[in-house]
Amino acid sequence: MEIPDLPSWPTTVREAEAVQDRLRSCVDLTSPGPESVRTVAGLDVAYAEDRLAAAVVVLDVDRLEVVEEIVVRDRPSFPYVPGLFAFRELPALIEGLRRLSVTPDLLICDGHGLAHPKRFGLACHLGVLTGLPAIGVGKTRLVGAYDEPGADRGSWSNVTDGDEVVGRALRTQTGVRPIFVSVGHLTDLETACEVTLRLTPRYRLPESTRRADRLSRRALAAS
């Protein structure tokens, strides 16, 4: 798919925060989201020393079968700093999306969207840069407070930061810890959770994320 070239990449925390402040106004949470989500792209990155492998796996949501997969080798573009995580792996993920021959209906990011201190997590950033609907699915909380969801699969509770609902803690399997779903771009929280549940028929994490995780690790090991 077509994605504009990335601008010069920030080097310091100060510069990265300036980019977030400038781009967060581009997040669209009011336009209607995808009419129907038939395909999703799972994105994940594996690291080793100073190398990384980014994987993009497009899945057919109904059949949970792989439609296309891409791997990109690169080097971290930024150190890991809570809140600035996107600057670390975004370049490699964008390149992976560029090489895709199909355009997924929704991006499933390994991290958060609005559930971010500045309301501009990886899912928002990726959504704005690609113009595609995007959501964030994290394994642990970054910001906000939440009550423990009910014990059954499908149970959820809102994650709130101050008086804002920034996401949901969603129990995707009975007996496992909840995952954290938040909106990134051109999607609503309801849809985000519905799709996430469709992608977790058997495991805690979305099948898209699991596939991308396996692929990125395999590619890194084989390099």
Binding-site residues for Mg(2+), in ranges, read 44, 110
The distance of closest approach from Cβ of residue 38 to DNA in the complex, given in angstroms and rounded to an integer, is: 26
Residue 155, amino acid: S
Is position 85 an interface residue for DNA (rule: CB under 7 A)?
yes
7-10: list long-range contacts, CB under 8 Å, 24+ apart: 9/77, 9/78, 9/87, 9/91, 10/78, 10/87
Binding-site residues, please?
44, 110
Question: Helices H, strands E: what count in the chain?
Answer: 5, 8
Is position 186 an interface residue for DNA (rule: CB under 7 A)?
no
Among 91, 111, 167, 178, the residue binding DNA under the rule CB under 7 A is 111
Q: Rounded to whole angstroms, how far apart are CA atoms 106 and 61?
A: 10
Is position 215 an interface residue for DNA (rule: CB under 7 A)?
no
Minimal CA–CA distance to 96: which of 120, 112, 73?
73
Minimal CA–CA distance to 60: which of 106, 95, 110, 1?
106
The distance of closest approach from Cβ of residue 82 to DNA in the complex, given in angstroms and rounded to an integer, is: 4
Which is nearer to DNA, 81 or 102 (by Cβ)?
81
The distance of closest approach from Cβ of residue 69 to DNA in the complex, given in angstroms and rounded to an integer, is: 17
Q: Rounded to whole angstroms, how far apart are CA atoms 209 and 194?
A: 16
Among 57, 58, 72, 116, the residue binding DNA under the rule CB under 7 A is 116
Binding segment for DNA among 57-65, 118-126, 156-164, 194-202 (CB under 7 A)? 118-126
Which is nearer to DNA, 101 or 151 (by Cβ)?
151
Is position 203 an interface residue for DNA (rule: CB under 7 A)?
no
Number of neighbouring beta carbons within 10 Å of residue 223: 10
Is position 80 an interface residue for DNA (rule: CB under 7 A)?
yes
Name the CA dihedral angle for 144, 83, 129, 7, rounded to a multiple of 10 degrees. Answer: 160
Taking CB under 7 A as the criterion, which residues in 121-160 touch DNA?
Answer: 121-123, 136, 138-142
Footprint of DNA (CB under 7 A): 44-48, 80, 82-86, 110-112, 116, 121-123, 136, 138-142, 217, 220
